[in-house]
Structure 1
Amino acid sequence: MTSIMTNAAAMAALQTLRSINSNMAEVQNRISSGYRVQTAGDNAAYWSIATTMRSDNAALSTVQDALGLGAAKVDTAYAAMETSIDVISEIKAKLVAAREPGVDKLKIDKEITELKNQLLSAAQSASFSGENWLYNSNAAAVGTKSIVASFNRSGNGNVSVTTLDFDTAQSMLIDTADATRGLLTNSYDADQLQATPSGTPRLYHLIVAPPATPVAGSTEVKLTGVTTSAQLDDMISVVDKMLSKLTDSASTLGAITTRIDMQESFVANLMDVIDKGVGRLVDADMNEESTRLKALQTQQQLGIQALSIANTNSENILRLFQQ
């Protein structure tokens, strides 16, 4: 039946054209934004996953910054520790030289004094961002320092932060509040460092850092005109012990530096992997979308033409009455 009141063909063509225009708007939005899933309405599950993972990536970016800050602190401590090891080695060499009969021990002591000042300067300078792991002037010990290493999300959705911990007691060289807390201010029993200890303590310390006082009965590693060969042997043993402790500390700092470098690389790779995973979920395939856009443009033209043809039916009926 043909009717001038209801044009079913035009209504069908118009409905098709509306659908095509809606699809074109969706495709154009994907092309302009670059996202296939931009809002929760596009795909609630994928949008939720992508939002959570983007948030985790932002946290990992902060972890990268924290690792950089931690690496700077460790590198600062390690550089000062290396310098201290070189200076301690030089002090040991000076003490061995003083063991030679006939040398001027007082002149050698002046050199040792300057080397001690260098140790003090190196320890005081090993500060980064207000933290010094080699020198302490506070009443409380510096304690264990933590470096943020990773941000983790478990299978059940719980989050946690992993840290790298370092006990500064291993690296503290000078402590002006408590001499026993510093590797260079603490006292060492030369008797215990011998192959066959006599049982009589012979305590020595290298540096005096006021207001801290050395352990009672401890003697400073210092040369005088009457320093005996036995005393020199004790001093050499004690300084060698200090050197061993500093070497162990430097090894630990070096291991932490390596661990931080590895963790930085891992975090960077992890962030890239997460970005790729999120992209697979929500990014638009531009090749596919451009192809769809071309097809929809063609369909739109055909839809407009079909609507135009449907609208001519009323004109054809009008011509019948004109005849």
Structure 2
Amino acid sequence: MSVMNSINTNSGAMIALQNLNSTNSELASVQNRVSTGLRVASAQDDGASFAIAQGLRSDVKGIGAVNEQISKAKGLVSTTISSLSSVSDGLGDIRETLTKMADENNSAEQFDQYKADYDSQLAELQNYVDNAEYNGTNLIDAGGADVNVIADSGGTQYTLAAVDIDAQLAGISDPVDAATAQGLIDGGTDTSFHDAVGAVNDALNTFAGDDRRLTGQMEFNSKLSDAIEEGLGATVDADLAKESARLQSLQIKQQLGTQTLGIANQSPQILLSLFG
């Protein structure tokens, strides 16, 4: 089949332009993948994959928000444990003072001096409890309420149970002589001091368990988020090694296409030689 020579219709140039446009389109896509690192950067690239990726991104954000709330709860628990530790140490000091008060050889003046130390130490314990506040919440003061903490993106709640240590301390009897001081130490007839010590130790153990559980939940959430991120990457990330090779190939193809179009555009000039 012969090819008609015409100055109105340049079939070669039209084909060369179509090929060049196709190359330019592919090159733009590859350049976008290289610059963003994404194979699917928008819904236009791959609607189904983009929709899946958006869902995964939402999950990651949800887990991040959960861990942020758990971090706040850990701050509350850490503050509570710190205060309880100070109370526990203070109760040990009070035990020492009670032992001195229980000595029947003390004069009235000596007993009064020890009693003043005892009252001061007990007041200091109340101060520790009052200051066990984090972001407006106190788990061991009078009137403290349980705190619910979100544990996962599914809305599971973990409860931090409040313990009224303030009431336990306030319930410790006031020793008025050596015998009542000894009674507090023995705990046989007056268990108020031993009850307070036991309540503080139990609370320390409970809140230490809360802290471990919150830490473990945060670690689990972080691992889950990493796994989702990995799946997200497999869905939308570009293989930069392959894209780099394609980029170089298309750049060469673009140069050749440009040259081919130039040659095709020059072909009508050949017709001038027919009229020379």
Going by fraction, where is helix more abundant, 1 or 2?
Answer: 2
Q: 1:17 to 1:54 in 2, by over 3 A?
A: same
Q: 2: CA distance between counterparts of 1:60 and 1:301?
A: 48
Matched, 1:118 2:127: no
Matched, 1:75 2:75: no
Which range is displaced more, 260-269 or 11-20? 260-269
2:175 to 222, 225, 228: 222
1:173 to 157, 165, 177: 165
Contact 1:106 1:225 in 2 (8 A): no
Q: 2: CA distance between counterparts of 1:66 and 1:228?
A: 46
Q: 2: CA distance between counterparts of 1:28 and 1:163?
A: 46
Q: How far off its partner does 1:77 sit?
A: 0.8
Contact 2:165 2:199 in 1 (8 A): no
Q: 1:81 to 1:309 in 2, by over 3 A?
A: same
Q: 1: CA distance between counterparts of 2:157 and 2:181?
A: 50
Partner secondary structure for residue 44 of structure 2: coil
Structure 1 partner of 2:169 = 184
Which range is displaced more, 234-243 or 275-284? 234-243
Structure 2 partner of 1:150 = 152
Q: 1:227 to 1:285 in 2, by over 3 A?
A: closer
Q: 1:25 to 1:67 in 2, by over 3 A?
A: same
Which range is displaced more, 19-28 or 311-320? 311-320
Partner secondary structure for residue 164 of structure 2: coil
Contact 1:76 1:128 in 2 (8 A): yes
Higher relative contact order (Cα pairs below 8 Å, separated by 6+ residues): 2
Q: 2: CA distance between counterparts of 1:74 and 1:231?
A: 30
Q: How far off its partner does 1:295 sit?
A: 0.7
- What does 1:5-20 align with in structure 2 at a 5 Å threshold? 5-20=8-23
Structure 2 partner of 1:216 = none
Structure 1 unaligned spans of 5+: 152-159, 175-181, 186-204, 207-219
Contact 2:184 2:192 in 1 (8 A): no
Write the deviation string for residues 95-150 of structure 1: whole angstroms up to 9, x where unpaired: 344444323443332222111111111111111111111213xxxx4331122322
Q: Which amino acid aligns with 2:148?
A: S
- What does 1:253-292 align with in structure 2 at a 5 Å threshold? 253-292=207-246
Q: 2: CA distance between counterparts of 1:19 and 1:225?
A: 100
Q: How far off its partner does 1:252 sit?
A: 0.7
Partner secondary structure for residue 135 of structure 1: coil
Q: 2: CA distance between counterparts of 1:228 and 1:61?
A: 54
Contact 1:87 1:115 in 2 (8 A): yes
Structure 1 partner of 2:157 = 163
Which aligned segments of 4 or more residues in structure 1 are displaced greater than 6 angstroms?
A: none
- What does 1:123-134 align with in structure 2 at a 5 Å threshold? 123-134=129-140
Write the deviation string for residues 137-175 of structure 1: whole angstroms up to 9, x where unpaired: xxxx43311223221xxxxxxxx222321210xx2211x
Q: Which amino acid aligns with 2:118?
A: I
Q: Which amino acid aligns with 1:146?
A: N
Q: Which amino acid aligns with 1:33?
A: T
Q: 2: CA distance between counterparts of 1:57 and 1:87?
A: 45
Q: How far off its partner does 1:293 sit?
A: 1.3
Q: Which amino acid aligns with 1:294?
A: Q
* TM-score calculated relative to the size of structure 2: 0.87
Contact 1:78 1:253 in 2 (8 A): yes
Partner secondary structure for residue 155 of structure 2: strand
* TM-score calculated relative to the size of structure 1: 0.75
Q: 1: CA distance between counterparts of 2:227 and 2:184?
A: 63
Q: How far off its partner does 1:46 sit?
A: 1.3
Contact 1:31 1:286 in 2 (8 A): yes
Matched, 1:45 2:48: yes
Partner secondary structure for residue 43 of structure 2: coil
Matched, 1:315 2:247: no
Q: Which amino acid aligns with 2:155?
A: V
Q: 1: CA distance between counterparts of 2:271 and 2:237?
A: 52
Going by fraction, where is strand more abundant, 1 or 2?
Answer: 1
Q: 1:235 to 1:117 in 2, by over 3 A?
A: farther
Count of residue pairs the alignment pairs up? 269
Structure 1 partner of 2:97 = 94
